[in-house]
Amino acid sequence: MSVTFADIEAAAARLEGHAVRTPLVESPALNERLGGRVLLKLETLQRVGAFKFRGAYNRLVQLSDDERKRGVVAFSSGNHAQGVALAAKLLGMPALIVMPADAPAVKVDATRGYGAEVRLYDRLRDSREAIAAEIAGSRGAVIVPAFDDPHIIAGQGTAGLEMMAQAAALGATFDAVVTPVSGGGLLAGVSQVVKALSPATEVWGVEPASFDDLARSLKAGEIVTVKPTGRSLCDALESPAPGLITFPILHANLAGAVSITDAEVAEAMRYAFSTLKLVVEPGGCVGLAALLTGKIPAAGRTLGVVLSGGNVDPELFAQVIQGEVLQVVQS
């Protein structure tokens, strides 16, 4: 099962008037620092503060009337939760989201604020998949996956569709497009668009160093599941493996995947705030971090970078900006 360019165009039509066409912006200061041209896709300004609304709405809007009555169930640490909650609210259906008890409070509160019921679980002891399956079974509800679903992938790919059109309007041709990656829904969708419209453009994924499952999977040529020894600052990017649907797409399309440490992410967040005047959550900032560290070269090239979300806990953000993040991660 794959996702085609036509699927993504169809998703864009469904999202018209519902999702925000987020801006593609350029910073002279960033260009000067890197010696290239960087265009930033600000999904931080998407509804719910992250790209996840795109896929969630594209999935839910295609449910039948009967399925809408029975509602949906999802599991997420935050951004997918909010995307599903808002999409369900807009479409008039009930939603229950299974969220880890240690998820950022700002994400839990926002999910409830969109009208969804929230069921908290202990991520070290409980299986969120089992909890969601039990609830869905008892209610007859539809489970909405975070990334490994063709409708979700197609919805996320609309960010790439916009990005390519906006770049063309600026007279820019990307040498590379860089996107955060966890399970791979966003990256798979964006990569399908990029490769359809500009086959020579490289596509790169960026993931936390402690969750480098995509890099390992690409090297092995098959899905590799990592067993992390701890948490990542990037709470939105903690999937231990690519998806069964996303991985074949990524394997076919990507130039590679690089990993970023928590300290490098924190520095990128500080740069985004102080120089670019942007609030970006840790997982949303890994692409920028990859450029600032030189892990993906920018000199003499034109690059597009997706800043995928801005839902960062205020206390954590303050500590990152003040340089205290390593204490937060270790605690």
Both tokens of 164, joined, read 């390519």
Residue 197 and residue 41: Cα distance in Å, rounded?
17
Query: E strands within the chain?
Result: 24-26, 37-42, 72-75, 95-100, 117-121, 142-143, 176-180, 202-208, 256-260, 302-307
- CB atoms closer than 10 angstroms to residue 115: 13
Residue 75 and residue 97: Cα distance in Å, rounded?
5
Work out the angle between the directed axes of helices 5-15 and 150-169 (0-180°, nearest 10). 80
| 3-state secondary structure (DSSP) of residue 210 | helix
For 43, half-sphere exposure in the C-beta direction (CA atoms, 13 angstrom radius) is 30
DSSP calls for 256-307? EEEEE-HHHHHHHHHHHHHTS-----TGGGHHHHHHHTTSS--TT-EEEEEE
Q: Clarify whether 182 is annotated catalytic.
A: no
Catalytic residue among 41, 52, 107, 195: 52
Length of the chain: 331
Catalytic residue among 191, 239, 259, 308: 308
> Quick one: which of 191, 185, 193 has its CA closest to 149?
185
Q: Clarify whether 227 is annotated catalytic.
A: no
Residues 6+ apart with CB under 8 A from 319: 325, 327, 328
Both tokens of 279, joined, read 């609030």
Catalytic residues: 52, 308
